[in-house]
Chains A and B, each alone.
Chain A
Amino acid sequence: MRESYGDKITRIGISILLLLISISCLAPVINILSISFSGKQAVETGKVLLWPIDVTLQSYSALFEGTRVLASLWNGVVMTVGGVLISMVFTICAAYPLSKGYFYGRRTFTLMLLFTMVFTGGLIPTYLVVKSLGLIDSYWSIWMPGAVSTYNMLIMRSYFEGIEPEIEEAARIDGCREMSLLFRIVLPLSMPVIATLVLFYGVGYWNNFMNVLIYINSTEKYTITVLIQQMIASQSLLTESLANDTTALELVPEGIKSAGIIVLILPMVLIYPFLQKYFVKGVMLGSVKG
């Protein structure tokens, strides 16, 4: 079907609009990227816009030598990978039974889980609970309470419900047991939702700032998010605490801050494209014929 002239114009118009919006979102990031590669003088006098001036790696070398970036980067990776694995296991274990109509007490359990979406205990009571479990200063204090996000679990449950029961029946006729059904039939068909949730949980754990700050005491366990946030936040603190802190805050140079930001977002930016194809890929090709 040939595209009419009007359709073509509309399509190009929409593409241009979307392109402009994307550029306006990307521009600050490109600016930070350029600053991180630019020389000190150029950065301080504000000459760096979209292209680095006096290209140099000194911001990065100062960042890696002068701060605990590498250690905290590793911590961030450990926390994210561990967290995602734990979360996925528990979310699947919660969503799968709830998606089966013949599960006894299905409604009760669903309501119980929904209830947790409505209320939360607040910071101090939650802290006291976590403390009483002895989880303070360990990553489990972030993994355990955060293991299942009810919202994500419901997404997965809906997806499982959407898998046609004929597949399950066909498998059972062939002698498939429950565990095999989960691992060999349902999960491979659920790659899109698994990829989506891996991404949601991954980004959630990677960006987790407040919880790490409150529950983790030893600074060697801090993740990169906390470290970089400290550098950036100390800049705004300067204006407030002019009266308080007589050691005029060691201003973190713009270059190092920008390098820190790039290091912080890089892992997520790198992973996104790989998981993208799972969203787009079609599913259940030829699973039930006829």
Chain B
Amino acid sequence: MLKMKKRNVLLAGASLTLLGVLAACGSNDNADNSGKSADSDSGSGKKSTISATVYDRGLIAASEGTMEKNRWTQWINENSPTNVKFTAVPRTESKQKLNTLFASGSAPDLIFEFDPNIKNPLYDQKQLMPLDDMINQYSTTYKKLLEDNPILKQAALKSDGKMYEFGKLNEAIPQNVIVIRQDWLDKLKLTAPKTTEELYQVAKAFALQDPDGNGQKDTYGLNIGPGITDIFGGTGINNSYVDENGKLVRIWDNFKEYITFAKRLYDEGIIDKDYITDNNGAKARQDFLNGKTGIYFVQANTNMWNRLWITDYATLKANVPEANLEIVPNPKSSFGQYTVWINNPVQMTAVVNRNAKDPKAVMEYIDFLSTPETGRTLTNGLEGTHWQAGPTGCPNPIDQEKNKTELGYLGTDYNMIFSVVSGGKCSFLASSFNPDKPDEKLAKDKFKENMDILYNMIDQGAKFPGLTHVEHLPTVPQDLLVDFQNANTEIGNLITKAIVSGASYTPDKAISEMQGLWKKFNGEKIDAFYQEWYTANKDTALMPDDIFQIVKDQKATQEEILK
């Protein structure tokens, strides 16, 4: 008897849950449908509606809503000449999601995406709308930006001579930095390294001469981190070319130098032997913060600069009170002096779906995003609520905690069209430092020092570590893509293997194996592809000379902020 009752209760419960779930889904669909129709009603009335993507990084508080519906999408829809319906695309899976959306014909009108390897195939598959007409006919603000900054137009051109991408101009600043423990240098009576050989000597001294004075050999000379390969000219497989009279010649010497250098460090115990498993630099950072690393290679653009000089320096000093950090310019390699890798100064960020129904509305939205007021709001928030004008005339945050919740997810995801030149000096990183606070003043002074190092190097003829910025290289065509990716992976593995395999595996052997691999994966065809592109595009694509020129163009603004 009891068993039957129990089973009946279970059955009833199960069916109720099932019904409840069905009802919930039903109501969801209804809500969606009614939501959609409401939008289109308001759209046909006054403003047109476009659909756009926005990155979802999973960092939005529940109280703020979702990336598709929050105070900022509301602000945009209230203030923009177009209504925008946002579709969230996960930041880390944008390729899959966008491909699926395009393949099924349900992609939004305006796609915001950084990665050229996602956008270039879309162009090849003829999924994108050319922008020349819509800019000429409907644009005001963005059109003027293009006229004042022709490089922005150049970078948007594709092989058929038409523009396909909207973009923004960024600060051309160093992407990485090398810092050194000056207190260790003083203790061991050494000077900062100026060549790669000196770099090796100083790192060796740091590792073997017990600079932290605790009697144990527990210190590292340096970490294998971002920017270390740039000292040797970079080890990007698609970037290791040098122009000899218009012909692209592949160089392997930079690989060999780097392998020889790193191998010596590894074999002599100067670096952490576990660096291979350190995926994102977390262990290297830990070692540095614990005062165990003498020379630290780290990313340094945008808020990473703050993180290094304000947060991390404080942690380091808490662990090691006498720590003193100084910046080290890129040491000179045997092939010459290379600058650090520079931020992409001309970044293409948006494309338009060929099937977009209302190009005029899309263009008006882009114009709206390009205005200084929009840019400022979508970066700093609303005046009086999130910021007020500070002593330098630039926005200073009012309440950091509140800003963290309300602005934290803003990032630049809604703002991917805004150029720093439109925003003036307040859009530059250096303006965000408050000189009244000692730690921010230090960050500002160090930033100035770092920029001066870059200016000097460029003036003295230093080279860019690679053919050009990777975002301005073309995507390898479909038939060579798999080979290219395999070559990339295997050569990367080979470099690691060469470094850690001890005396038996010499750098020369590694290089000959690398060349063999390159040949195996159709390297000659890939080289031919890049040569063809280079010959056709070397005057119009963004090349290191253009990058250095932009650095110089921005010098006046930077110096004014930093003085």
Contact = CB atoms under 8 A, between A and B. Distances in A.
Nearest to A79: B21
A235 interface: yes
Interface residues of B, number: 69
Contacts of B318: 41
Interface stretch (A155-163, A212-220, A262-270): A212-220
A33 interface: no
A116 interface: no
B506 interface: no
7 contacts: A218-B68, A234-B57, A234-B58, A243-B175, A244-B471, A247-B303, A249-B57
A249 B24 CA distance: 36
A86 B469 CA distance: 52
Interface string A227-263: 1111101111111011111111110101000000000
A81 B298 CA distance: 46
Contacts of A22: none
Majority SS at the chain A contact face: helix
B502 interface: no
Interface string B340-368: 01011001000000000000000000000
B59 A45 contact: no
Contacts of B88: 217-219
Contacts of A82: 17-18, 21, 25
Interface of B: 3, 7, 11, 14, 17-18, 21, 24-25, 28-29, 32, 56-63, 66-68, 87-88, 90-93, 96-97, 100, 103-104, 106, 114-115, 170, 175, 226, 279-283, 285-286, 289-290, 299, 301-304, 315, 318-319, 341, 343-344, 347, 405, 408, 411-413, 469-471
A127 B286 contact: no
B403 to A, nearest CB: 13
Nearest to B175: A242
A89 B115 CA distance: 44
B92 A46 contact: no
Given A220-B66, A233-B92, A246 B17 contact: no
A159 B426 CA distance: 71
A41 B315 contact: yes
Nearest to B409: A250
A260 B430 CA distance: 34
Interface of A: 41, 44-46, 65-71, 78, 81-82, 85-86, 89, 123-124, 127-128, 131, 136-140, 183-184, 188, 210, 213-214, 217-221, 226-231, 233-239, 241-250, 252, 254
B388 to A, nearest CB: 23
A96 B21 CA distance: 25
B113 to A, nearest CB: 9
A71 B66 CA distance: 11
B543 to A, nearest CB: 16
B32 A137 contact: yes
A252 B60 CA distance: 12
Contacts of A243: 175, 341, 344, 469-471
B25 A86 contact: no
Contacts of B115: 241, 244
B104 A67 contact: no
Contacts of A136: 106
A82 B92 CA distance: 28
Contacts of A138: 25, 28-29
A246 B61 contact: no
Given A131-B104, A242-B226, A67 B61 contact: yes
B62 A70 contact: yes
A248 B25 contact: no
A233 B59 CA distance: 13
Given A236-B280, A248-B302, A250-B411, 12 more contacts: A66-B61, A124-B103, A139-B25, A219-B88, A233-B93, A238-B280, A239-B281, A241-B114, A246-B170, A246-B412, A247-B303, A248-B301
Contacts of B289: 44-45
Contact of A67 (B58, B96, B114, B341): B58
A219 B61 contact: no
Given A85-B21, A213-B97, A227 B58 contact: yes
A197 to B, nearest CB: 15
Contacts of A85: 14, 17-18, 21
B62 A234 contact: no
A71 B63 CA distance: 11
Given A67-B60, A214-B97, A230 B90 contact: yes
Contacts of B279: 235-236, 239
Name the 10 nearest CB pairs between A and B, nearest first: A230-B58, A46-B286, A82-B21, A233-B92, A219-B66, A244-B114, A219-B88, A248-B304, A68-B62, A124-B103
B103 A44 contact: no
A60 B42 CA distance: 41
A234 B100 CA distance: 21
Nearest to B318: A41
Contacts of B11: 183
Contacts of B67: 219
Contacts of A254: 282
B25 A140 contact: yes
A188 B6 CA distance: 12
B303 A231 contact: no
A194 B103 CA distance: 39
B280 A67 contact: no
Contacts of B68: 218-220
Nearest to B316: A45
A25 to B, nearest CB: 19
A55 to B, nearest CB: 20
Contacts of B344: 243-244, 246
A8 to B, nearest CB: 41
Contacts of B32: 137, 218
B104 A128 contact: yes
A67 B62 contact: yes
Contacts of B56: 219, 230
A68 B61 contact: yes
A66 B408 contact: yes
A252 B408 CA distance: 12
Contacts of B66: 68, 218-220
A247 B104 CA distance: 31
B345 to A, nearest CB: 10
A229 to B, nearest CB: 8
